[in-house]
Structure 1
Amino acid sequence: MKKGLVKLARWVGFTIHLRELRDRENSVPGYYVHSGELKEFHRAAYLGYRREVQELLSCKNNVVDSRDRRNRTALHLACSSGKSSVVTLLIQWKCDLNARDEEGKTALMKAVECQEEVCVTILLKRGADPNLKDNCQNTALHYAVLAENTSIATKLLRYNADIEAINKYNFTPFLLAVRENKEEMVKFLIENGANVHAVDDFQRSALMLAVFHDSPDIVKLLLQKRVNADSRDLHGMSAERYARRNGFKLLYQLIVDYRAGKIPTTPPQSSDLGQSSGNKLLLLGLP
């Protein structure tokens, strides 16, 4: 009877925990776990039941790196939900730090993606590889960019993360930050030596991406770094032409002035005069 009540309490706790996780602000995706999806060991790791995880590790063989139906290990699940004590325990039991889930993501990538900085720190200190790539060729640093978390990015760089790693679209973390309009991350990566002249697989420069995504402050920052405003992508388009075609008058004027030798010194307030930045027709179908 007592065992049944304990199991019921744990199940209720699991359901409440799931609800809390789903109610979090979800600017950075984690795992979506459904009731009944996880078996005993993985569920205990996900919920942070350290004692239960310890008991299962002690009484079952080869469980530490066992996989669920989505190819996730207990380490993936514990990192995604920020259960640092379970993460430490699993590492003590010699779990595979660099195991990949069905998306090719490591536990480090999940910890970064979910902004679980304590777990990130533990993994890096214990030797997790920050330069492995998932199925889309993103590294942990790409995920730090998407989360716009400079604190985690700093840790990754301290442990030799490649600041110029490219994903399947040839986006470095810097180009990704520009495309996603993550201004603070753009500044951070520039300060840490990112190549401001990088181009993606369509030969689009950071300046072109910043113009296309209507990011005036990033455009200004790039011009201050003396990027090439005359380069063209595979379609023969320059940053100036993107600005003109999309009706971004202030961006267009910034680039014209820059080509005339005037470096912008004050941030523009808006890139256009009534023209919606949603009218981005020139890159339809491109990532």
Structure 2
Amino acid sequence: MNAGLRLLLAGFGMFLMTISAFGASPELLAAAGAGRTAEVARLIAAGADLETRDTQGRTALLLAVDGNHVAVAKALLAAGASPNTQAANRDTPWLLAGASGRTEIVAAMIPLKPDLTIRNRYGGNALIPACERAHVETVRLLLTSGIDLDHVNDLGWTCLLEIVILGDGGPRHQEVAKLVLDAGANPSLADKDGVSPLTHARQRGQRAVAALIEQAGGR
């Protein structure tokens, strides 16, 4: 066998391995992504691979979370789908559910004890983007999971810092700030430049948020 043919066969073998890893059950992926609950249930009963992935590494559960297909997500979780499987962009179903404010799906995942140590592409946990986007009810649930309130992401920001720096200071951001502070978030944990949440809030004219941080002992 000449070298060119060996190279061609090796490349074809790699292609087959990719298809096997990322396309073994396209029907389940398609049904989950479209929110077709009955079809998902049928495929689960038929023994579909719950952890099969698409070309972006997304599982059926991650697609269900992305589409906010609650019934599909619950069916997959009940059948044993993992909330921890990480896609190519580093999302997991748990991380995406938190970031997207999928409160019902988060509630279904918490009893399964998702892996709280897995980080998103910004080095953050599920709580940080949930706070940034002021998903009040999702944040309230995440705080019951044992998640790290003072985790610092790759930008050097905690959940409280993201509330202030990326939030608008309005009622919903005030509510999530109160939730994390009442839960014990460090009100004085500064960013990588040494600027505290209170200073950021004052600089942005977020008086209500600044008052909450001060009340919690922030400096």
> How many equivalent residue pairs?
195
SS at the partner of 2:53?
A: coil
Cα 1:254–1:94, aligned 2, differ >3 Å: closer, same or farther? closer
1:42-92 superposed Cα distances (whole Å, 9 cap, x missing partner): xxxxxxxxxxxxxxxxxxxxxxx8988xx9811111011222232233334
| Conservation of the 8 A alpha-carbon contact between 1:164 and 1:195 | no
User: Is 1:254 aligned to residue 215 of structure 2?
Assistant: no
User: Please, which moves more after superposition, 252-261 or 213-222?
Assistant: 252-261
SS at the partner of 2:216?
A: helix
1:139-186 superposed Cα distances (whole Å, 9 cap, x missing partner): 111222244232211222223322443111122111121111111111
User: What does residue 59 of structure 2 align with?
Assistant: 106
User: What does residue 177 of structure 2 align with?
Assistant: 219
User: Is 1:136 aligned to residue 89 of structure 2?
Assistant: yes
User: What does residue 13 of structure 1 align with?
Assistant: none
SS at the partner of 1:259?
A: coil
Deviation at 1:100, TM superposition (A): 1.5
CA distance in 1, matches of 2:110, 2:217: 34
| Conservation of the 8 A alpha-carbon contact between 1:72 and 1:102 | no
Cα 1:66–1:188, aligned 2, differ >3 Å: closer, same or farther? closer
User: What does residue 198 of structure 2 align with?
Assistant: 240
In the TM superposition, 1:109-120 aligns within 5 A as: 109-120=62-73
Q: What is the TM-score with the length of structure 1 in the denominator?
A: 0.61
Cα 1:72–1:191, aligned 2, differ >3 Å: closer, same or farther? same
SS at the partner of 2:198?
A: helix
Cα 1:210–1:260, aligned 2, differ >3 Å: closer, same or farther? closer
SS at the partner of 1:226?
A: coil
Q: What letter is aligned with 1:244?
A: R
User: What does residue 21 of structure 1 align with?
Assistant: none
- Identical counterparts, % of pairs: 26
Cα 1:76–1:230, aligned 2, differ >3 Å: closer, same or farther? same
CA distance in 2, matches of 1:260, 1:245: 15
User: What does residue 179 of structure 1 align with?
Assistant: 132
| Conservation of the 8 A alpha-carbon contact between 1:130 and 1:139 | yes
Q: What letter is aligned with 1:199?
A: V
Greater percentage in helix: 2
User: Is 1:204 aligned to residue 167 of structure 2?
Assistant: no
Cα 1:88–1:146, aligned 2, differ >3 Å: closer, same or farther? same
Deviation at 1:94, TM superposition (A): 3.3
User: What are structure 2's unaligned runs of at least 5 residues?
Assistant: 1-19
Deviation at 1:220, TM superposition (A): 2.0
| Conservation of the 8 A alpha-carbon contact between 1:146 and 1:177 | yes
User: What are structure 1's unaligned runs of at least 5 residues?
Assistant: 1-64, 262-287
Structure index of larger Rg: 1
CA RMSD of aligned residues (A): 2.6
User: What does residue 166 of structure 1 align with?
Assistant: 119
Q: What letter is aligned with 1:184?
A: E
CA distance in 2, matches of 1:67, 1:166: 22
User: Is 1:151 aligned to residue 109 of structure 2?
Assistant: no
User: What does residue 86 of structure 1 align with?
Assistant: 39
Q: What letter is aligned with 2:58?
A: K
Q: What letter is aligned with 1:120?
A: A
Q: What is the TM-score with the length of structure 2 in the denominator?
A: 0.77
User: What does residue 22 of structure 1 align with?
Assistant: none
Q: What letter is aligned with 2:55?
A: E
